[in-house]
């Protein structure tokens, strides 16, 4: 049979089985669900290194040592964060309102090739913690390591008492299969992580979706910052797994007054500012004729990228930098680069840096993440008020800060970009985003209450009206 037809039929079978299994699973108690999630976590963490190596071997992206950390982050750190969450049954009762957690049903989990195994672990754990079933759609370039990861979790779940079929994974990944999964009538929610085209397809599928578009976070080093520490954090972040986390920095913005100090420190820590001729040569390699990022650079080291582009760089170079003054579709340095490559901008003051940041984010990365290194809380406050991002990270590496590893944000590997970024939420996605909340509300006042002479007064001055409003609010709160 045709591969596309086989893949679509497999999707139908997986969704059917998942729906039937989830119908049984939703009857489980919170304690029984938690036991299953615990057993999955304990089992898959034994494979953190094996799965990391499989991912690098299959995709060629990143460093297996860093992917071990990402796998451990998903299997252990995220698990520890979600394990005590109350997600099903009665969540709380107060003020004559009862809230009941209701699983959404079958989730379509779309997995990228940049973070394949860690994202699979994360999405399966949070889906089952919330009482849902999940069907995984692997990126074709990472299908084997994704299937292996899903199967480890599936076996552990069944052994712990989960119904067969609750976790499914497409073994013949095609565009047609992913499309069929997203549009299937029995899929309740799409959890999409990947390229912009795929996320747009998720939102246009007709099925509710939580999707994440590209990141393009600028990192502003303000004049009050500890430059050495700021550069250290940026370099660590941009070289972590060779820049494959979308929250990683994509440009540095310096002030004119600290430009020289920053450039010197960047060079001290393994950064290389390319001559204009080499920067232009690399730019032509980064950008494909259709205007999209060349996948050949994704998750590669600075040395490999330089060799591919045919430029010479100093031995030991960790990050390639290009001094830039423009932001546009024709300037690849001003867009997302999932590799150790950074643009470098210089502005006269923090106000100009603020404007430049907004320009970069409006070009690409709206709603995602920005980083600021500063000790001036007023400047930080101004950035928080004005930037079109869902995360403003302060004095921390972008890649690890955005996912909640080095900050107190909810740990997650899917980062919502909010309405400004075309996303349905600005949250770091947790199990609480994968449930509906049913509210049971008791009557606490009768219609007659609103027909009292106090409410019917119309000819009162503003001071009397203010007192009346306070009185009514106090009566409501005291009931």
Catalytic residue numbers?
246
Of the candidates 84, 187, 139, the one whose C-alpha atom is nearest the C-alpha of residue 431 is: 84
**Going by C-beta distance under 8 Å and a sequence separation of 6 or more, which residues neighbour residue 133?**
18, 19, 21, 22, 25, 105, 106, 107, 127, 165, 166, 167, 168
CA distance 421 to 343: 22
CA distance 341 to 278: 13
CA distance 342 to 337: 8
Contact 228, 266 (CB under 8 A): no
**Going by C-beta distance under 8 Å and a sequence separation of 6 or more, which residues neighbour residue 192?**
108, 110, 198, 199, 202, 209, 210, 211, 212
**CB-side exposure of 366: number of CA atoms within 13 Å?**
9
Alpha helices in 116-189 (DSSP H): 116-129, 143-159, 175-183
Instruction: Kindly state the tokens that stand for 230.
Output: 């700021």
CA distance 183 to 202: 9
- Other beta carbons within 10 Å of 90: 13
CA distance 390 to 420: 9
What single string gives the DSSP state of each residue in 41-84?
Answer: HHHHGGGHHHHHHHHHHHH--S-HHHHHHHHHIIIIIIHHHHTT
């Amino acid at each position: 049979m045709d591969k596309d037809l086989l893949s679509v039929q497999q999707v139908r079978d997986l969704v059917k089985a998942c729906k039937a299994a989830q119908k049984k699973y939703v009857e489980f108690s919170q304690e029984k669900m938690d036991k299953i999630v615990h057993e999955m976590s304990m089992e898959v963490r034994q494979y953190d290194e094996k799965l990391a190596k499989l991912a690098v071997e299959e995709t060629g992206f990143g460093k297996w040592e860093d992917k071990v950390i990402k796998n451990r982050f998903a299997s252990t750190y995220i698990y520890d964060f979600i394990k005590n969450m109350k997600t099903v049954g009665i969540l709380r009762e107060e003020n004559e309102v009862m809230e009941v957690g209701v699983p959404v049903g079958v989730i379509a989990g779309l997995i990228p090739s940049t973070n394949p195994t860690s994202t699979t672990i994360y999405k399966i754990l949070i889906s089952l913690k919330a009482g849902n079933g999940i069907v995984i759609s692997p990126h074709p370039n990472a299908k084997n390591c994704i299937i292996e990861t899903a199967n480890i979790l599936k076996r552990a779940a069944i052994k712990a008492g989960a119904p067969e079929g609750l976790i499914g994974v497409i073994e013949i990944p095609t565009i047609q299969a992913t499309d069929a999964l997203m549009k299937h009538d029995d899929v309740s929610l799409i959890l999409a992580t990947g390229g912009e085209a795929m996320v747009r397809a998720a939102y246009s599928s007709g099925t509710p979706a939580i999707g994440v578009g590209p990141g393009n976070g600028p990192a502003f080093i303000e004049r009050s910052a500890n430059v050495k520490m700021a550069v250290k954090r940026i370099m660590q972040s941009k070289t972590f797994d060779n820049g494959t986390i979308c929250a990683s920095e994509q440009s540095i913005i310096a002030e004119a007054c600290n430009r020289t100090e920053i450039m010197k420190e960047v060079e001290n820590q393994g950064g290389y500012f390319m001559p204009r001729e080499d920067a232009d040569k690399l730019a032509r390699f980064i950008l494909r004729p259709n205007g999209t990022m060349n996948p050949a650079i994704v998750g590669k080291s600075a040395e490999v990228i330089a060799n591919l582009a045919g430029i010479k760089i100093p031995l030991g170079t960790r990050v390639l930098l290009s001094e830039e003054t423009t932001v546009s579709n024709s300037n690849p340095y001003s867009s997302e680069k999932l590799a150790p490559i950074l643009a470098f901008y210089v502005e006269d003051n923090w106000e100009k840096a603020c404007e430049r940041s907004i320009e970069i984010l409006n070009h690409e990365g709206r709603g995602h993440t920005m980083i600021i290194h500063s000790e001036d809380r007023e400047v930080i406050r101004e950035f928080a008020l004005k930037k079109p991002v869902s995360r403003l990270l302060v004095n921390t590496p972008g890649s690890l800060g955005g996912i909640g590893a080095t900050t107190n944000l909810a740990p997650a590997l899917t980062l919502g970009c909010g309405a400004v970024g075309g996303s349905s939420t600005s949250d770091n996605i947790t199990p609480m985003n994968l449930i509906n909340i049913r509210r049971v509300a008791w009557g606490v006042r009768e219609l007659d209450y609103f027909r009292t002479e106090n409410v019917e007064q119309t000819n009162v001055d503003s001071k009397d009206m203010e007192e009346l409003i306070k009185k009514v609010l106090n009566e409501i709160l005291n009931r």
